[in-house]
Structures are given as structure tokens and as C-alpha cells.
Chains A and B, each alone.
Chain A
Amino acid sequence: MTATLADVGIALGRVAFVMLFVLNLGGLMTWVERKQSAIMQDRIGANRASIFGFRIMGLLHPLADAIKMLTKEEFYPARADRVLFSLAPFVSVFFALVAFASIPFGDTLRVAGREVPLQALTFNVGILYVFAMLSLGVYGVMMAGWSSANNYALLGGQRAAALMITAEVAIGASIVGVVMVYGSLNMMDIVRAQGPLLGGWLPKWGIVTQPLAFVLFLTAGIAATKRIPFDMPEGESEIIGYFVEYSGMKFGLFVMADFLETVVISGMTVSLFLGGWQIPYLEPAGFVFPWGATVALPGLAVSLLQVGAFVLKVVVMIWFLMLIRWTLPRFRYDQAMRLGWLGLFPLSIANIVLTGAALLLWGAR
């Protein structure tokens, strides 16, 4: 294997795009969270941070937050396990950050005789990779809960563990239906397989072929982000939860991890159920509409449109998840467990059986 400078550059570029995309979205989400909740509650929302009088709709608040959190005192509880206490927020953020790596953000790009897959890591079993990284993130929360030497934090850590196992089983079981329909564990192949049209006009997106799995996956995915309605590990109004002893940027990292997980769940939902980078009727040579009209486009424009479509879809999904979060009703711990084990899990298994039967009957692939 000979790696030229261009190859290394391309690889770095792919990684940098995903990294900056996820990090920036995560940072922007603190702003979206404030502004969207403000709009939903008929308030104005954060708008005071300014540089030389420029406020740009409160967009400077994430910056102000970062400065404030970095300059705050680092507090360690007296009987805390210092190593684990310091390590926990980084574990949380790390796995949330790397999970996005095998989600494709565009079709394979062909430039100057090279094939550049538009995803950071081209795993043959990419869907399992994302799933694995999501499931490892919970260790950060559990370590935080345990090392704080605080009963409320411990309670939060235990709830997080229970919630994560519940959500993970449902996520795993609901993905199986999608994998069966599109016949691959490779995220790129799954997105590509969502391109063909059903009956000549309906895109073969996951939400069309697997509507039940979509609902189950989204519900379990929201549970995996640990945000309202599934915020028992945190429980602002009852136990405060696993990060009760944290201050400064370490606390900020936990909040960031939740945001990043929301981005990852959005990316997963878009890739598995909403066609990923696919735009309906857009083919490699341009638009081909079912009523016969065609619009020819150069290859690079098609690629740019696809990347744009992916970003737009992810942002819309994030908006939707925010909408759910700020309608505020939340599950009690036992209710969430019941929903997970008696609702989501059996339905996911039923979905697998149904999908298998349908594939056997129609043989559609």
C-alpha cells in the first residue's frame, strides 16, 4: 500500500469535515436550545452577550459560555475518586464525537481518477461501529456517578446504565429490519440502496419501507441521548443526577456530550430512514423527474447538492428532537423501563418477523 501525499490529504479532509461538522453543530445547539425554547415559550431568549455592541441574535452566547466555563474553579468532592472523576467527562465526549465517523455525508466522489468516499471511516460494518460507540458513551456517565462519592450522583449513574441497556436493545433490534431490507451493514450501501424509486415515484427511503422501525428507533434514540423525555439519569427536578458534583468545563463537557449524541442520533436516523444524502429524483447525471422532465447537472454540483441535503436533513432532525425536548413532559424511571422492555423491545422483534415474512413473500430487495 503506497500512500501519497494527496491520499493523506484527502483522508485528513474527510476526518476534518466530520469533526468540524459534529463539533460546530454541537456548539450551535446550545444556541438553538436557548432560542428554540424561548420561541416555544413566547420569550425572547438569550441575547445579551455582545462584542462591541454586536449581538447577532445571541449567537455569541456559546462563546461566552466557553470562556466562563474554562475560567471557573475546578472542584473535586472530598471523597471523590480523582482519576475517574476527571476522566469521566472526556470518556463521555470522546465516544459521542467519534460515533459520527462512519455516517456517510455524500456519495463516493470521483475526482481526477480517484474515488473518495464521503465518510470519515469506511467500515464494512459501519452501522455496528456507530452502535458500539454509542453504547460505550454511557461509561463516562457511570464513572461520573460512581466517582463523585455522592448518593444522588450514584443514583443518576445507575439510572443511566439501566436506561442505556434498555435503549440499546431497542435500537439494535429496530436496526435489524433496516439491515434486512437493504441487505448490508455498510452505511454507504444502505444509503445508496435507498435511492431507487418505488412504483416510479416514491423514494425507497427507510421511513417508507420500515415505518415501524423508524418510530421505534427514534424513540430509543431519544432515550439514548438522555434528554427529556428520558432524562432520569439527570432528573433536574429530583436528583440532579450524575453530574451534580461537576463544575466548570467538565460539567460543560457532559452537556456537550448530550448535544453531540443528539447530532449522532439525527445522523443515524437520516442515514437509515430518511435517505441519507439522497435527494429524490436526483441521479448522478442530474434530476430525472417521474413526469419526464430532466435537468442535467455536472458531477460536482450533484455531490455538493447531496452533501447539502444531508446537512439540511440532519439539522431538521435536530430541530425535531429539540421540539420534543422542549414540550417538557417526561417519563418517570419505571415508566421508561416499562416502555423500553414491554413496548419498544417486543415491537422491534415483531418488526423483524414482519420484515422477514414480507421479504420472503415478495422477495423484494
Chain B
Amino acid sequence: MPLAVFLVVAAVAVASALGLVLKRNPIHGALFLIVNLGSIAVMYLTLHAQFLAWAQVIIYAGAIMILFVFAIMVLIPGKEETGPDPLRPVRLIAIPFGALLLVELVLMLVSRRAAPVAAVPAPGGVEAIGRLLFTDYLFPFELTSVLLLAAMIGVLALAKSRKAG
């Protein structure tokens, strides 16, 4: 049963990722990305990580992607991105990097076969994540909050300066 769920979800995830890359219409691409994020959330669910799953949906699909789609709708209403690609050389760089990732994936699969992953602890995870965040990972956690604060102040400064000028 879990294997069947995994196979279906994995197929959806890969298909939507392909859709994101191959579709030229930016709105379609964004919608495929949302499907992809949702299928990753289902994978978290099958691993009993409910908090991670719904946090993933709320933050990525529910907040960040809404902003993305909003921006796309404002900037390119209905226009398909057709014609020659102005950034074609940049795309070629992606080929060696992609190959590198593929090699890494194969190496990982080969090395992982010997050592199985430890069993997942009790379901839920809010308590476990909270405890980890405020003990072992307190420093990176606080650093991240400073980073976010800096980004917020930066946005405010940019918005203010444009209004003045």
C-alpha cells in the first residue's frame, strides 16, 4: 500500500516537474510547480511528518506561489513566451550541472543500499521540530530570522526610496 502511494505520488511529482520545465507559458509552469510542491507534501505525509507536510503547503503553495502567480498575472497577462530564447547559451551550462547531479544521485543510490535509513519516530513532529529548532539548531534558526528581518527592511527601504524619487 505505501509503495503504491509512493509510486503514484512520485510519478505526479516527476511529471509536474517536467511540466514546469517544458511548458513555455509562465502561468502553466507556475501551476505545475504548485502541483509538484503538493505532491512533495503528500510524501511528507506518508513519512508521518504531518507538520512538515502542511507547513510546506501553507508556505510554498499557499503563500509564495500565490505571490508568484500574482506577479506573473500582473506582468505578462495572457502572453505566451514564444519566439527565440534570448538566454540560449545560459541553458547550455545547465547540461553539465544536470549531469553532475545525475552522477551524484546514482552514487547516493549505490552507497545507500547498504545502510537503510533509521525508522521514523512517532508521528506528528511539531514538538520534535520545535525542540530541535530551539536547542541543536538555535544558532542557524536565529541567523535565519536576522536574514529575513534584513530582507524585510531592504524591501521597505527600496519601496520608500522609489516613492521619494
Question: In the docked arrangement, what's the CA distance between A135 and B63, Å?
Answer: 8
- B67 neighbours in A (Cβ, 8 Å): 165
B126: chain A residues at CB < 8 Å are 124-125, 185
Q: Within 8 Å CB of A239, what residues of B?
A: none
Q: Bits for B39-63, please: 1 = Cβ < 8 Å to A, else 0.
A: 0000000000011001101100111
Interface size on B, residues (CB 8 A): 25
**Contact call A161/B62, Cβ cutoff below 8 A:** no
**Of A125, A131, A142, which contacts B69 at CB under 8 A?**
A142
Residues of A within 8 A of B61 (CB): 132, 135-136
CA of A185 to CA of B129, assembled, Å: 14
A18 at the interface (CB under 8 A from B): no
| B55 CB, nearest partner CB in chain A, Å | 7
| Contact surface of A with B, Cβ cutoff 8 Å | 79, 84, 123-125, 128-129, 131-132, 135-136, 138-139, 142-143, 145-146, 149, 151, 154, 157-158, 161-162, 164-165, 168, 172, 185
* Cβ–Cβ contact A154 & B73, under 8 A: yes
Q: A131 to B62: give the CA distance in the assembly, Å.
A: 9
Q: Please, which residues of chain A bring their CB within 8 A of the CB of B57? A: 132, 135-136
Instruction: Report which of A79, A136, A157, A168 forms a contact with B73, defined as CB distance below 8 A.
Output: A157
- B123 x A124 contact (CB < 8 A): yes
For B77, the chain A residues whose CB sits under 8 A away are 146, 151, 154
Closest to A91 in B: B31
Contact B73 A132 (CB under 8 A): no
Interchain CB contact under 8 A, A132 and B70:
no
Whether the Cβ atoms of A145 and B73 lie closer than 8 Å is yes
CB distance from B63 to the nearest CB of A (A): 7
Q: A125-B124, A142-B73 are in contact. Are A164 and B54 (CB under 8 A)?
A: no
Q: Is there contact, CB below 8 Å, between B62 and A168?
A: yes
Given A125, A139, A146, A151, which contacts B54 in the complex, CB threshold below 8 Å?
A125
Please give, as numbers and ranges, the residues of chain B lying within 8 Å of A123 by CB-CB distance. 50, 54
Binding site for A on B (CB under 8 A): 27-28, 31, 34, 50-51, 54-55, 57-58, 61-63, 66-67, 69-70, 73-74, 77-78, 123-126
Q: Looking across the interface, which residue of chain A has its beta carbon closest to that of B52?
A: A125
Closest 3 CB pairs of A and B: A135-B62, A128-B54, A132-B57
How far is it, in angstroms, between the C-alpha of A237 and the C-alpha of B78 when the chains are bound?
Answer: 25
Q: In the complex, A165→B61 CA distance in Å?
A: 12
Instruction: Name B77's closest neighbour in chain A (CB-CB).
Output: A154
If A128-B51, A128-B54, A154-B77 are given as contacts, then 8 extra A-B residue pairs at C-beta distance below 8 Å, sorted by A number, are A125-B126, A132-B58, A139-B31, A139-B66, A142-B73, A146-B27, A165-B63, A172-B58
Contacts of B124 in A (CB 8 A): 124-125
A131 near B58 with CB under 8 A, answer: yes
For residue B130, give the distance in angstroms from its CB to the closest CB of chain A.
11
Q: Is the beta-carbon distance between A135 and B50 smaller than 8 angstroms?
A: no
Flag if A165 contacts B66 (CB, 8 Å). yes
Minimum CB–CB distance for B152 against chain A, Å: 13
- The answer to whether A161 touches B70, judged by C-beta atoms less than 8 angstroms apart, is yes
A143 to B67, CA, bound (A): 14
Residue pairs across A and B with Cβ atoms less than 8 A apart, 15 shown, are A124-B126, A125-B50, A125-B124, A129-B54, A132-B54, A135-B61, A136-B61, A138-B66, A146-B27, A151-B77, A154-B78, A158-B73, A161-B70, A165-B66, A172-B58
Enumerate chain B residues within 8 angstroms of A142, measured Cβ to Cβ.
Answer: 66, 69-70, 73
Contact yes or no, A161 B63, CB < 8 A: no
> If A125-B50, A128-B58 touch, does A143 touch B66 (CB 8 Å cutoff)?
no
Q: Determine the chain A residues whose CB is within 8 A of the CB of B73 once the complex forms.
A: 142, 145-146, 154, 157-158, 161
User: Which B residue sits closest to A124, measured CB to CB?
Assistant: B124
Chain B contacts for A136, CB-based, 8 A: 57, 61-62
Q: B125 to chain A: which residues have CB within 8 Å?
A: 124
- Picked from B27, B51, B70, the residue with its CB within 8 Å of the CB of A125 is B51
| B121 CB → nearest A CB, Å | 13
Please, which residues of chain A bring their CB within 8 A of the CB of B70? 142, 158, 161-162, 165
A129 to B70, CA, bound (A): 23
Of chain A, the residue at the smallest CB distance from B56 is A132
Report the Cα distance A151→B54, complex, angstroms. 34
Bound together, the chains give a CA A142 to CA B62 distance in angstroms of: 13
**How far is B42's CA from A129's CA once the two chains are assembled, in angstroms?**
12
Chain A contacts of B28 at CB under 8 A? 84
Expressed in whole angstroms, the minimum distance between the Cβ of B160 and any Cβ of chain A is 16
Which of B34, B54, B55, B74 has the most chain A CB within a 10 Å cutoff?
B54
Determine the residue in chain B with the shortest Cβ distance to A169: B63
A149-B78, A154-B77, A168-B62 known; A161+B123 contact, CB < 8 A: no
